[in-house]
Amino acid sequence: SQQGEEDPQALSIQEGENATMNCSYKTSINNLQWYRQNSGRGLVHLILIRSNEREKHSGRLRVTLDTSKKSSSLLITASRAADTASYFCATATSGTYKYIFGTGTRLKVLA
């Protein structure tokens, strides 16, 4: 399977703490994206990082990309209860229009 792997599978933290999730993938990519999904709902796009970028910030989100290791991380700083959701990375496979999703991290932020 081409599916990416994410770790941890589940993460439980206290409000105000930082949350870090990691994503590894298998193919060459054009970009990598992170999405959030609340239980039973659709996917919400969070941030996109292109293959020639190493780090990107958006509000409380920080994404890094290491194409030599085929890995990315998502850091959520000062987490809030509303951040409780599943987080997925998705890679745009080079030379195609295909996006492959990682296995996801379930984040629970305790108030």
Residues forming contacts to another protein in the complex (CB under 8 A) are: 3, 30-31, 33, 35, 40-45, 48, 50, 88, 90, 92-104, 106
Nearer CB in complex with another protein: 15/27: 27
| Total residues belonging to the chain | 111
Pick from 107, 93, 108, 82: nearest CA to 33? 93
Least distance between another protein and beta carbon 99 (Å): 6
User: Least distance to another protein from the beta carbon of 101, Å?
Assistant: 4
Compare residues 10 and 110 and give the one whose CB is closer to another protein: 10
Comparison of 43 and 75: residue with beta carbon closer to another protein: 43
Please tell me the distance from the alpha carbon of residue 20 to that of residue 28, in angstroms, as a whole number. 23
> Do residues 38 and 87 lie in contact, with contact meaning Cβ atoms separated by under 8 Å?
no
Tokens encoding 67? 């194409």
Reference 76, options 25, 36, 37, 49; nearest CA is 36
- Minimum distance between the CB of residue 93 and another protein, rounded to whole angstroms? 8
| Distance in angstroms (rounded) separating the CA atoms of residues 39 and 53 | 31
Q: Which is nearer to another protein, 40 or 59 (CB)?
A: 40
Query: Please, what is the minimum distance in Å from the beta carbon of residue 57 to another protein?
Result: 17
